[in-house]
Amino acid sequence: MSSVHELIRGAAMREAAARETTRTTGRPLASAGHRRPIVLRATGVSSCDTELADDPWAIDRDPGYGPGASSADTIPSLAPRQGPLPAEYTSASDAELTERIMAAKAALGDRVQILGHFYQRDEIVQHADFVGDSFMLAQAAKEHPEAEAFVFCGVHFMAETADILSGPDQAVILPNLAAGCSMADMATIDQVEECWKQLTATLGTGAPGGLQPVIPVTYMNSSAAIKAFCGRNGGIVCTSSNARTVLEWAFERGQRVVFFPDQHLGRNTAKAMGITEEEMPLWRPHLALGGNTAAELEAARVILWNGFCSVHKRFTVAQIEQARADFPGLTVIVHPECPAAVVDAADGAGSTEYIRKEIEAAAPGSVIAIGTEINLVNRLQQQRPDLTIFCLDPVVCPCSTMYRIHPAYLAWTLEALLAGETPNQISVSAEVADDSRVALERMLAARP
């Protein structure tokens, strides 16, 4: 295994190479008329593209990962599509883009707020008015009624949530429409409706004690349509920080839970509550009864949707063992989107906020390996230079869909706003927003 410093040096070199490539290539992006099928990558094989750091434009030229890539071999018909970006942006140097972003941002003032996700690259985060996880950013949008527009530097489902929580006259903009989330794409509303139909037919609609036979719970990382589905059907939304509280809420109202779309967050949370693996069948959306028998569904406590995060699925127990062998006394903390065996082998597991707090509280000189997205890991190291922090995965891998928000898109978006246009607005219909809000408000009320 490479040393920590080799890893860190490798990441810096890749970053420099990516910057150089951006300056010199300036190749055109996929156009709205570009209808090439997305390459199907087999479920169970990580599709994290480790070459992203070498050429940020490649992913837009050949759409092999993004909305739909994980659930079908062609882009779903309703998936958002990014039009071409003018060459003046794709051929601009990093310095020129930074200058243009800063000038447009200064001219727009408080009218426009830039929201940056923790996993976003530094070249974007440096311009953000707020940095946080998806829910923190949606709340930031809610708490700034004076802003006319929010430029959401994250992925599609996050911008939808911000649109749901922000005011009716405020626009939420996703600088690159191709910035989807592979995990969110693993559960479509049609698949979820079909699952519900089969569960209702198998488990009925009523249970002893006035309970529901099954309560739908969705992770924040899902489409607004699925959040609305949960709102309409007595269900609720959760984040990685409150998943246990939300499951407790659900078990007060139902016999069992169906958990969308991240099997790992669902499994890790339920396991910590004493629910056994046998009580957590996996629902495979293309199979009748999700590939289970009626008896298995009857005995279930948590039915797990077969979704996962391609970034967090890369972490393994072998990586933890190797890191511990290389650095005796090492502390390992991971995100609960990692597989259960990885969570079990780590010293701690929790949300991004949990990881940040652990780093804040760490004693000087500590060596800490983290199992989460590389941009966040690198930023934590910058914030605590007195610690040695490294990513568990020796192959540095960013969230490839979040990576699609290149500074060129941010410059293009801000300058369009300055010109009086509203590009790439993410609008959730009033009906879907109302039902989603029900599920989100249940989550807020369920807070311990």
Is residue 402 annotated as involved in ligand binding?
no
State in angstroms the smallest separation of the CB of 153 from ligand SF4: 12
State in angstroms the smallest separation of the CB of 20 from ligand SF4: 25
**Cα dist from 297 to 88, 192, 196, 266, 303, whole Å:** 56, 16, 12, 16, 8
The count of chain residues that interact with ligand SF4, using the rule CB under 6 A, is: 13
Is residue 335 annotated as involved in ligand binding?
yes
Cα 428 from Cα 106, distance rounded (Å): 29
The answer to whether residue 240 forms part of the interface with ligand SF4 (CB under 6 A) is no
State in angstroms the smallest separation of the CB of 337 from ligand SF4: 6
Per CB under 6 A, the segment of 178-186, 284-292, 410-418, 435-443 that binds ligand SF4 is 178-186
Q: In angstroms, how far is CA 357 from the centroid of its own chain?
A: 20
Is residue 337 annotated as involved in ligand binding?
yes
Is residue 336 annotated as involved in ligand binding?
yes
Map residues 99-128 to x or -, x wherever contact with ligand SF4 holds by CB under 6 A: --------------------x---------
State in angstroms the smallest separation of the CB of 444 from ligand SF4: 21
State in angstroms the smallest separation of the CB of 372 from ligand SF4: 8
Is residue 219 annotated as involved in ligand binding?
yes
Nearest to 307 by CA among 186, 193, 219: 186
**Structure tokens belonging to residue 58:** 């490649």
Is residue 134 annotated as involved in ligand binding?
yes
How deeply is 59 buried, as exposed, middle or buried, from its count of CB atoms within 10 A (0-12, 13-18, 19+)? Answer: buried
Is residue 241 annotated as involved in ligand binding?
no
Site for ligand SF4 (CB under 6 A): which residue of 343, 397, 399, 432?
399
Site for ligand SF4 (CB under 6 A): which residue of 52, 85, 101, 181?
181
Q: Which residues pair with 389 in a beta bridge?
A: 368
Residue with Cβ nearer ligand SF4 (69 or 258): 69
3-class DSSP state for residue 347? coil
State in angstroms the smallest separation of the CB of 182 from ligand SF4: 5
Is residue 352 annotated as involved in ligand binding?
yes
Contacts with ligand SF4 in 203-222 (CB under 6 A)?
A: 221
Is residue 391 annotated as involved in ligand binding?
no
Q: Is 274 left (phi over 0), alpha (psi -120 to 50) or beta?
A: left
Cα 122 from Cα 294, distance rounded (Å): 49
Is residue 421 annotated as involved in ligand binding?
no
Site for ligand SF4 (CB under 6 A): which residue of 187, 402, 408, 439?
402
State in angstroms the smallest separation of the CB of 48 from ligand SF4: 8
Contacts with ligand SF4 in 369-398 (CB under 6 A)?
A: 373
Phi, psi of 154 (to 5 degrees): -150, -135
Cα first-last separation, the chain: 42
Nearest to 184 by CA among 165, 161, 159, 156: 156
Map residues 293-312 to x or -, x wherever contact with ligand SF4 holds by CB under 6 A: ----------------xxx-
Residue with Cβ nearer ligand SF4 (171 or 338): 338
**How many helices and strands (H and E) does the chain possess?**
19, 13
Per CB under 6 A, the segment of 14-22, 181-189, 354-362, 377-385 that binds ligand SF4 is 181-189
Q: Token match 């996700």: residue?
A: 117
What DSSP assignment string belongs to 235-260?
Answer: -EEE-TTTHHHHHHHHHTTEEEEEEE
* 304, 281 Cβ separation under 8 angstroms: yes
Contacts with ligand SF4 in 140-159 (CB under 6 A)?
A: 155
Cα 4 from Cα 284, distance rounded (Å): 39
Is residue 238 annotated as involved in ligand binding?
no
Is residue 399 annotated as involved in ligand binding?
yes
Q: Is 184 left (phi over 0), alpha (psi -120 to 50) or beta?
A: alpha
Residue with Cβ nearer ligand SF4 (119 or 249): 119
Cα 183 from Cα 180, distance rounded (Å): 9
* 198, 290 Cβ separation under 8 angstroms: yes
Binding residues for ligand SF4, per CB under 6 A?
A: 119, 155, 181-183, 221, 309-311, 373, 399, 401-402
Annotated binding-site residues read 117, 134, 181, 219-221, 240, 309, 335-337, 352, 399
Annotated binding-site residues for iminosuccinate read 117, 134, 219-221, 240, 335-337, 352
Annotated binding-site residues for [4Fe-4S] cluster read 181, 309, 399
